[in-house]
Amino acid sequence: MKSSTLSFLLAGLLLTGGVHASAADHVHASHAWIRVLPGDLPAGAYVTLQNDGDQPVALSGASSTVYADVMLHQSSTAGDMSRMTMVDALPVPAHGKAVLAPAGYHLMLMQANAPVKPGDTVRLTLSFTDGSTLATDFIARPANAMDAGDDHRGH
Protein backbone atom coordinates (compact mmCIF):
# COMPACT_ATOMS: atom_id res chain seq x y z
CA MET A 1 0.00 0.00 0.00
CA LYS A 2 2.70 2.39 1.09
CA SER A 3 4.80 1.99 -2.08
CA SER A 4 1.87 2.42 -4.45
CA THR A 5 0.96 5.68 -2.72
CA LEU A 6 4.53 6.84 -3.21
CA SER A 7 4.47 5.91 -6.91
CA PHE A 8 1.30 7.91 -7.35
CA LEU A 9 2.87 10.96 -5.72
CA LEU A 10 5.99 10.69 -7.86
CA ALA A 11 3.94 10.43 -11.05
CA GLY A 12 2.09 13.58 -10.01
CA LEU A 13 5.37 15.43 -9.43
CA LEU A 14 6.74 14.38 -12.82
CA LEU A 15 3.59 15.54 -14.59
CA THR A 16 3.74 18.88 -12.82
CA GLY A 17 7.38 19.29 -13.86
CA GLY A 18 6.49 18.62 -17.48
CA VAL A 19 4.21 21.64 -17.72
CA HIS A 20 7.15 24.01 -17.79
CA ALA A 21 9.56 22.65 -20.38
CA SER A 22 13.13 23.80 -19.86
CA ALA A 23 15.43 25.45 -22.37
CA ALA A 24 17.51 22.29 -22.65
CA ASP A 25 14.43 20.29 -23.70
CA HIS A 26 14.25 22.30 -26.92
CA VAL A 27 17.92 22.62 -27.77
CA HIS A 28 19.92 20.21 -29.93
CA ALA A 29 23.71 20.37 -30.03
CA SER A 30 25.66 19.35 -33.13
CA HIS A 31 29.20 19.74 -34.55
CA ALA A 32 30.58 19.78 -31.02
CA TRP A 33 34.36 19.87 -30.97
CA ILE A 34 37.34 21.09 -29.01
CA ARG A 35 40.53 22.55 -30.45
CA VAL A 36 43.33 21.12 -28.38
CA LEU A 37 46.43 23.28 -28.03
CA PRO A 38 49.84 22.11 -26.83
CA GLY A 39 50.85 22.10 -23.19
CA ASP A 40 48.66 23.81 -20.64
CA LEU A 41 47.18 26.32 -23.06
CA PRO A 42 43.40 26.74 -22.77
CA ALA A 43 41.33 24.93 -25.40
CA GLY A 44 38.39 26.39 -27.32
CA ALA A 45 35.14 24.43 -27.52
CA TYR A 46 32.72 24.98 -30.38
CA VAL A 47 29.18 23.77 -31.02
CA THR A 48 26.04 24.57 -32.99
CA LEU A 49 22.90 24.96 -30.88
CA GLN A 50 19.52 24.56 -32.57
CA ASN A 51 16.44 25.74 -30.65
CA ASP A 52 13.28 23.93 -31.77
CA GLY A 53 11.15 25.72 -29.19
CA ASP A 54 8.74 28.65 -29.48
CA GLN A 55 10.67 30.67 -26.89
CA PRO A 56 14.18 32.10 -27.11
CA VAL A 57 16.72 30.54 -24.76
CA ALA A 58 20.24 31.56 -23.79
CA LEU A 59 23.42 29.63 -23.12
CA SER A 60 25.07 30.84 -19.93
CA GLY A 61 28.12 28.57 -19.79
CA ALA A 62 29.28 25.03 -19.27
CA SER A 63 31.07 22.77 -16.86
CA SER A 64 33.16 19.63 -17.16
CA THR A 65 34.77 17.09 -14.89
CA VAL A 66 37.90 17.28 -17.08
CA TYR A 67 38.50 21.04 -16.90
CA ALA A 68 38.70 23.05 -13.69
CA ASP A 69 37.26 26.16 -15.31
CA VAL A 70 35.05 26.85 -18.34
CA MET A 71 34.16 30.35 -19.53
CA LEU A 72 31.91 31.68 -22.27
CA HIS A 73 33.89 34.09 -24.48
CA GLN A 74 33.59 36.06 -27.66
CA SER A 75 36.61 36.70 -29.85
CA SER A 76 36.64 39.87 -31.86
CA THR A 77 39.11 41.86 -33.89
CA ALA A 78 39.55 45.62 -33.90
CA GLY A 79 42.09 46.66 -36.50
CA ASP A 80 44.80 44.04 -36.20
CA MET A 81 44.16 43.42 -32.51
CA SER A 82 42.35 40.23 -31.53
CA ARG A 83 40.77 40.05 -28.12
CA MET A 84 38.36 37.98 -26.06
CA THR A 85 35.54 39.28 -23.92
CA MET A 86 33.42 37.50 -21.33
CA VAL A 87 29.84 36.75 -22.36
CA ASP A 88 27.08 36.43 -19.75
CA ALA A 89 24.58 34.77 -22.04
CA LEU A 90 24.47 33.79 -25.70
CA PRO A 91 20.90 33.95 -27.09
CA VAL A 92 19.49 31.13 -29.21
CA PRO A 93 16.40 32.49 -30.99
CA ALA A 94 13.12 30.54 -31.13
CA HIS A 95 13.34 28.15 -34.11
CA GLY A 96 16.83 29.46 -34.73
CA LYS A 97 20.39 28.65 -33.90
CA ALA A 98 23.55 29.97 -32.33
CA VAL A 99 26.95 28.96 -33.63
CA LEU A 100 30.08 28.83 -31.53
CA ALA A 101 33.03 28.77 -33.93
CA PRO A 102 36.67 29.86 -34.18
CA ALA A 103 37.07 33.68 -34.22
CA GLY A 104 33.62 34.08 -32.62
CA TYR A 105 31.83 32.70 -29.61
CA HIS A 106 33.51 29.83 -27.81
CA LEU A 107 33.74 28.05 -24.53
CA MET A 108 37.23 28.46 -23.10
CA LEU A 109 38.38 25.31 -21.31
CA MET A 110 41.08 25.79 -18.72
CA GLN A 111 43.24 23.64 -16.46
CA ALA A 112 42.65 20.12 -17.76
CA ASN A 113 43.13 17.62 -14.95
CA ALA A 114 44.36 15.03 -17.46
CA PRO A 115 45.88 15.43 -20.95
CA VAL A 116 43.24 15.69 -23.69
CA LYS A 117 44.44 14.54 -27.11
CA PRO A 118 42.91 14.59 -30.60
CA GLY A 119 40.35 11.81 -30.98
CA ASP A 120 39.30 11.93 -27.33
CA THR A 121 35.69 12.62 -26.43
CA VAL A 122 35.06 15.09 -23.63
CA ARG A 123 31.64 15.60 -22.11
CA LEU A 124 30.65 19.17 -21.33
CA THR A 125 27.46 20.06 -19.51
CA LEU A 126 26.01 23.13 -21.19
CA SER A 127 23.93 25.35 -18.93
CA PHE A 128 21.16 27.73 -19.85
CA THR A 129 19.91 30.87 -18.12
CA ASP A 130 16.80 29.06 -16.86
CA GLY A 131 19.05 26.65 -14.95
CA SER A 132 18.52 23.67 -17.26
CA THR A 133 21.50 21.69 -18.53
CA LEU A 134 22.40 19.66 -21.62
CA ALA A 135 25.20 17.08 -21.49
CA THR A 136 27.05 17.08 -24.82
CA ASP A 137 29.99 15.04 -26.06
CA PHE A 138 32.72 17.07 -27.75
CA ILE A 139 35.32 15.48 -30.03
CA ALA A 140 38.88 16.69 -29.49
CA ARG A 141 40.57 17.90 -32.69
CA PRO A 142 44.16 19.00 -33.39
CA ALA A 143 45.38 22.60 -33.12
CA ASN A 144 45.12 23.21 -36.88
CA ALA A 145 41.49 22.03 -37.17
CA MET A 146 38.91 24.59 -38.27
CA ASP A 147 35.74 22.58 -37.72
CA ALA A 148 34.34 19.41 -36.20
CA GLY A 149 35.54 17.33 -39.16
CA ASP A 150 32.11 15.67 -39.40
CA ASP A 151 30.58 17.72 -42.23
CA HIS A 152 30.41 14.79 -44.62
CA ARG A 153 29.79 12.08 -42.07
CA GLY A 154 26.40 10.45 -42.35
CA HIS A 155 25.37 12.36 -45.47
Pick between residue 17 and residue 104 the one whose CB is nearest to Cu ion: 104
**Rounded-to-integer distance, Cα 83 and Cα 98, Å:** 20
Q: Looking at 13-21, 101-109, 119-127, 145-153, which segment touches Cu ion (CB under 5 A)?
A: 101-109
Pick between residue 70 and residue 108 the one whose CB is nearest to Cu ion: 108
The reply to whether 101 sits near Cu ion by the rule CB under 5 A is no
Q: How far is the CB of 71 from Cu ion (least distance, A)?
A: 7
Burial of residue 17 (CB within 10 Å: 0-12, 13-18, 19+) is exposed
Instruction: Give the one residue of 84, 87, 101, 139 binding Cu ion; rule: CB under 5 A.
Output: 84
Restricted to residues 63-82, the positions that interact with Cu ion (CB under 5 A) are 73
Task: Say how far residue 126 (Cα) sits from the centre of its chain.
Answer: 4
Instruction: Give the one residue of 45, 49, 108, 134 binding Cu ion; rule: CB under 5 A.
Output: 108
User: 45 near 62, Cβ under 8 Å?
Assistant: yes
The reply to whether 35 sits near Cu ion by the rule CB under 5 A is no
What SS3 state is found at 5? helix
Nearest alpha-carbon partner for 34 in 126, 134, 137 = 137
For Cu ion, the binding residues (CB under 5 A) are 73, 84, 108
